[in-house]
Amino acid sequence: MSRYQEAYTRVTGRPAPAAAATLDTLFDQIAAGKTLPPKAQQAVALGLTAHSLNDAKENPGLFDYYRWVLTHCFAAKQINELTAKLIGMAFTSANIFQTDLPQPITLNPWQIQAMLAFPLAAAKAVVIENNGVFALLHQHHPDWPLIVQSGNDFNPAYVQLLQRLEKRGVRFAYIGDLDSRGIQMADHFYTQLQQTPIETVTALQPPVVVARWVTLYGKPDTHRTRSLTIQHPIYQQELATIHLQGKFVEQEQLIDDYERMIPAWLAN
């Protein structure tokens, strides 16, 4: 039993949850002052689902234990953690526009009109569903052209700028969670485009690669692999893959694969 579990049991009078030992490595990293990736990436690195450390409903017992240890064992310690909270409601990107401003930049709706004709720094961009994956890839590769899709926030200003970039020649490849909602969001993203072919949008997550990832990394969950309404046949095929296998894959599990695939796509 680790010192964290011992402290929890001694103070609360309750046994630590069954998976408590899973968090020992993370707590040791915090104690050593190491720089941590975003919470979702921390969770996946421990073999948990991405929201285990920031959503009490994902694994209630483990979440409560995690919060207790942070509060009682590290109360006086500043945790060095890369944040996934990106300020702004419209458009967050890195290395898309020619500017001397530090990257990434977040544009609010009042700035969008001025950026429609702003000089560009990239002809291709990777659009990323999750903030934390964007933050980590930007930290590892500060020169890559990246755009945050931010979950399902397809606000009008975001779509307007996206379509304007497309008309100016920028082509987008999309990466996101391989669960029912993630594939549905990718499908919806594609419907917002006017010129980029589906082969480009799915270049980093084509059906054959999705099938391999689900086989190698998939986690069983009937709810996250349920059937949903999908418009494009390619995304229908990808949803069928996860639905038939009953397994999903989160973006945070694919960082190493992304880091191998994205440079080749950008250079092609």
Q: What is the pLDDT along the chain (268 residues), one digit of tens a residue?
A: 899 999 999 999 999 999 999 999 999 999 999 999 999 999 999 999 999 999 999 999 999 999 999 999 998 888 888 866 654 457 899 999 999 999 999 888 778 889 999 999 999 999 999 999 999 999 999 999 999 987 556 778 888 899 999 999 999 999 999 999 999 999 999 999 999 999 999 999 999 999 999 999 999 999 999 999 999 999 999 999 999 999 999 999 999 999 999 999 999 9
pLDDT at 89: 58
pLDDT at 87: 46
Alpha-helical runs (H) found in 74-222: 112-115, 131-140, 156-167, 180-192, 198-201, 207-217
Which residues are paired to 91 by β-bridges? 107
d(Cα 211, Cα 257) in Å, to the nearest integer?
14
pLDDT at 156: 80
- Output the pTM of the full model: 0.81
pLDDT at 85: 60
Q: Quick one: which of 81, 118, 86 has its CA closest to 105?
A: 86
Q: How far is CA 70 from CA 3, 132, 147, in A?
A: 13, 20, 32
Domain-by-domain residue ranges, the chain?
Answer: 3-73, 91-267
* CATH class for the region spanning 91-267: alpha beta
pLDDT at 86: 52
Tokens of 262: 């994205």
Cα(first)–Cα(last) distance of the chain, in Å?
Answer: 52
